[in-house]
Amino acid sequence: MRTAKRYIRFTWLLFVPLLMGADWSQFRGPGGNGVSSTTKVPTNWSDHFAWTADLPGRGPSSPITVGDQVIVTASSGPNQDQLHVLSFDAKSGGLNWHRKGWATGRTLCHPSSANAAPTPASDGQQIYAFYSSNDLICLDLQGNLKWFRGLGADYPKAGNDVGMSSSPVVAAETVVLQIEGQNDSFVVGIDTSNGETRWRLDRPKESNWSSPVTMKSPDGVDLVLLKGSDGLTARNIVTGDEVWSYKVAAGGIPSVLVQGNLVFLPSDELIVLDASQIVDGQPEVKWASNRVRPGPASPLIAGGNVVALARNILTCADAESGELKWRHRLEGDFWASPVLAGNRIVCVNLAGQAHVVEFSDDAAETIATYEFGETLQGTPALADDGVYVRSDAKLWKVGESQ
């Protein structure tokens, strides 16, 4: 344990300057790597429920936090065509505002999913709520509409009838949507100021549920990384121009993970690319291993390690070398991605259990399990003062109340 404690202290030193007080502003947090350095994850969750709020509809989407607000999307109605964006006060759980819309695109999806599957994103000024029907609602932090864009109306064949789940990302005043299916299949960069298209590019006509991620190039350019059946492409987020690509079959569900210049690409194996070493338009492969390959859940960074969840097994490997560190078996089936704060990983499963896993550099242990009693599909959000978990009916804050 002494080794583990030293390791944990080192991890905190690495991340505190980067993420102190940051909003959990998108799917898997501000870095898109599932990590918060400021959240304190309790072990006895039943003693730490700050508040619970009812939700007006379903949604596998994650909550996000923006300042003192918690933003959640939901969908309801006989055809899942009623869209909801809700803002709750992070301290009290009181409803700040609730905006509703009507879907303009296809809303068919598998019964286990819902129209509100993608997680919203925020740049700290505006909120971008996106749905499987390819509707994009842009609101300011007071809930005032800035603009509404119906990509499902623009491209009626976009999507698939199992349901879409790719979440938006936003950087450099551009929100990027990856809308890939067997019919209309494309990626679009939208001007955050007015909802108009900056660029649009065709994508492979294959179903794809993974989300784009952002990163900075070594020379400071905002990039968006697009994973799909033809591999991984890095594009200038403002222009859509290709910067580099890596060809490999990489469709499916889990999303890419970025840490510094390292890019962790889920494929038939986990491929780790060094984006600071681009040769002939292709990044150098640092290592690859099918032993750290994630299932539907996206991988996360745990200090100097990468952690992947496949079926119910957490696997940890050294991020630089791929050396295996530990494996840990969990109870349940998982769609939600794991998230991490300090040396604790939170994993929520379909049976409604939240596991808290404490780890060191060479071992992991489930130190607490809380039973929510409702199906949990959404990845939890980690904020300074608590953990946010949502089901199809409720939003919970586990942490400090006001």
Partner 1 sequence: MSNLWLALAVITVGGLALPGQSPLTANETNLQQPLAAIRNVQVQGEGHASAMEAWKTLSTRSVQDVPAMLKGMSPDNDLANNWLRMAIDTVIDHGISDGQSVPLDAMEQVLADTNNPARGRELAYEWLTKLDKTADRRWLPKMLNDPSLDLRWKSVDAVLANAKQLQENGQAAESLQQYKTALLAARNVDQIKTAAQALRDGGDEVDLTRLFGFLTSWHLIGPFDNRDKQGFDRDYPPEGSVDLSATYMGKEDSQVAWKTHQTSDEYGLVDLNEAVGKNMGAAAYAVTTFVSNESQQVDIRWGSTNANKVWLNGELLGSNHVYHSGDGIDQYVAQGQLKAGENIILLKVCQNEQTDSCMQDWNFQIRICDELGTAIHSAK
The residues of the shown chain that bind partner 1, judged by CB under 8 A, are: 77-78, 97, 99-102, 104, 108-110, 135, 137, 143-150, 153-154, 157, 160-163, 181-183, 190, 194-197, 205, 207
* Look-up of token digits 């808290």: 356
Q: Which is nearer to partner 1, 156 or 322 (CB)?
A: 156
Minimal distance, residue 252 CB to partner 1, in Å: 14
Supply the minimum distance, in Å, between the C-beta of residue 118 and partner 1.
Answer: 17
Residues 70, 89: Cα–Cα separation, whole Å: 6
Residue 259's contacts (CB-CB under 8 Å, 6 or more residues apart) are 31, 33, 301, 306, 319
- Taking the complex as a whole, the smallest distance from the CB of residue 327 to partner 1 amounts, in Å, to 28
Closest distance of CB 75 from partner 1, Å: 14
Concatenated DSSP letters of 13-59 = HHHHHHHTT----STT-TTSSSEESS----S-GGG-EEEEEE-SSB-
Whole-number Cα distances in Å, 37 to 196, 341, 342: 36, 5, 6
Please list, residue by residue across 213-250, b when 16 or more beta carbons sit within 10 angstroms of its beta carbon and e when fewer do: bbbebeeebbbbbbbbbbbbbbbbbbebeebbbbebeb
> What's at 322, amino acid-wise?
G
C-alpha closest to that of 28 among 230, 142, 126, 167: 167
Least distance to partner 1 from the beta carbon of 102, Å?
5
**Residue closer to partner 1 (CB basis): 38 or 107:** 107
Choose between 43 and 79: whose C-beta lies nearer to partner 1. Answer: 79
- Residues 326-329: contacts with CB under 8 Å, at least 24 apart: 326/359, 326/362, 326/363, 326/364, 328/357, 328/359, 328/363, 328/364, 328/365, 328/366
Coil, strand, or helix at residue 78? Answer: coil
Return the number of the residue (196 or 400) whose C-beta is nearest partner 1: 196
- Our CB check for partner 1 shows the closer of 73 and 160 to be 160
CB of 173 to partner 1, least distance (A): 15
Structure-block tokens of residue 275: 């984006």
Q: Single out the residue of 125, 177, 123 nearest to residue 155, CA to CA.
A: 177
Q: Which residue lies nearer to partner 1 by CB, 146 or 216?
A: 146
Question: Nearer Cβ to partner 1, position 99 or 394?
Answer: 99
Please state the closest distance from residue 229 (CB atom) to partner 1, in A: 14
What CA–CA distance (Å, rounded) separates 376 from 384?
Answer: 22
Nearest CB to partner 1, comparing residues 94 and 281: 94
The minimum distance between CB 220 and partner 1, in angstroms, equals 29
Write the single-letter amino acid at 199. Answer: W
- Please, which residue, 153 or 351, has the CB nearer to partner 1? 153
> Strand, helix or coil at 185?
coil
Minimum distance from residue 76 beta carbon to partner 1 (Å): 11
Q: Residue 87 or 375: which CB sits closer to partner 1?
A: 87
Q: Least Å distance between CB 15 and partner 1?
A: 38
